[in-house]
Structure 1
């Protein structure tokens, strides 16, 4: 998996969390070692994710909440554990991984829309929303008012169709509700 530049166009509409957040005590990531067996276990009151490096190569990773954590390394044979935790701004946590410390995806920004965790009767779903851009080669996405099964957005945790890529120079616009 490559670490990508990403924008959360729909952070106010839905939370696409890589880890289901719960309130837990967690060791601050800035205090973690940069290699070897790493553990941020927050206690026995919740779950966690365990990452085992079974390869011959070092894995580079970042735990990302409201800020990208510093790059850490997971040496061959080492493991990393991170307890589910809540992002201080209320969003989800992502763990980004790469095989090289240099993170160059060219000039591409990856983005998506998410209806995950919106619940029934969401006002956002009732009024609809759309993403457009100034680049005709960049995909747009539209969820019409009342469309609870919008094909342009993630609907469940294992959807894999709604991520789009656009040149980094693209100006994107998210309209919530009918455009005037």
Structure 2
């Protein structure tokens, strides 16, 4: 019985090791961000050269998390163009993508989503270049959105 408990504890520890969702702001202006799942998190202000990070997590109400970004203070509630970096944690995998709503706030600026050793999403001009943007990686990697890459 002790061996089984020890083996289960080791397995639980290895499965629970997850990466982070990171937003790097390399743009000259401030970005405003909300982490949205089954509820809306507090607005985060990310100045030029700064970053935001949260552990990858599963939302039981929505199934996924959308990091919604605007260039306008309180823009989530004013209809401002939103850049969305979304992810869904599925056990040992994390699915991630990028989209926009109400316009393209980073039009003309280079955007990427990267994870070490995993597929990259690349929007060289701040707009969807076409095709599916959904990628998948192991959940122990950080998934990094970079504005003005």
Query: Which one has a larger percent strand, Structure 1 or Structure 2?
Result: 2
Report the TM-score when normalising by structure 1: 0.34
- Please give the TM-score of this superposition, normalised by the length of structure 2: 0.40
**Which structure is higher in helix share?**
2
